[in-house]
Amino acid sequence: MNVRKAVITAAARSQRQLPLQVLTDIDGVTRSVLEMLVREAISAGVEQVGVVIAPGDRDPYTSALGSAREQVVFVEQPEPRGYGDAIRVAADFVREEPFLHLVGDHLFLSKTGESCAKTLVTVAERENCTVSAVQPTREHMLPYYGTIGGHLVSGQPGLYQVENVVEKPTPTEAEQSLIVPGMRAGHYLCFVGMHVLTSGVIQALQAIFASGGTARPPTLSDALARLTRQERYLALELKAARYNVGVKHGLLMAQLAIALSGPDRDEVLTGLIEQLAREQQPV
């Protein structure tokens, strides 16, 4: 397997402005969330990135890419038919090749010195199969994520053979079919918005849509659930912090995390302490 392409989904009508938000990166350079995601993909050896957008968003997204625009092509999702469809419309771009997939509203800070995308791609190329990034997640957060069930691959810490996938399960569903041996009580392995996907995933999505879909718009989790019955599928526990810029204070928390992980950490900490001290002073 050779992962040369990436797909970033950014067409959700309620979230389409999130990738255009700007942050100061670890080097002190102001970049959009979208440009940071493209650079994350390029760090993994990706040569071309397809960004799935809503009609009419090409110009602002092009402007947001900065110097990364040369490696990006845009794929329009004509109608708002959900997350699964956003990946499916990129079929002509990926052309049956394996590809890295990132969601457009999450940023990642690796704890290993290697980018998260690079770590995931390395494992996927070595194992020659679809690999999803996951992290242990508390039970009360299950309504927000796709969740896997499975078991550890022998001799490979943090790597799991996936046996089941459920999109936003209830605690009862998770307890019945998504238990992973060795996981702390009340915790499950949930997706974090980064995958390396094979053409089998696109084929599964196409089959789901051809059959009339599901009661709700088909999701990536629906296709991955099918994949568990058709080919080898793994999940990698990501050693990283993940920041959702679409939640309340998400952009702020991402910016603080980036600033505190860079060379200006001491200056940022000093500023935070001074700000807290001012807040405590009587009026």
Residues in the chain, pLDDT under 70: 213-214, 283
3-state secondary structure the chain: CCCCEEEEECCCCCCCCHHHCEEECCCCCEEEHHHHHHHHHHHCCCCEEEEEECCCCHHHHHHHCHHHHHHEEEEECCCCCCHHHHHHCCHHHHCCCCEEEEECCEEEEECCCCCHHHHHHHHHHHHCCEEEEEEEEEHHHHHHCEEEEEEECCCCCCEEEEEEEEECCCHHHHHHHCCCCCCCCCEEEEEEEEEEECHHHHHHHHHHHHCCCCCCCCCHHHHHHHHCCCCCEEEEECCEEEEECCCCCHHHHHHHHHHHCCCCHHHHHHHHHHHHHHHHCCC
pLDDT of 129 = 97
pLDDT of 84 = 93
* Whole-prediction pTM: 0.93
pLDDT of 216 = 79
Indicate the domain borders of the chain: 5-280
Q: Which CATH architecture has domain 5-280?
A: Alpha-Beta Complex (3.90)
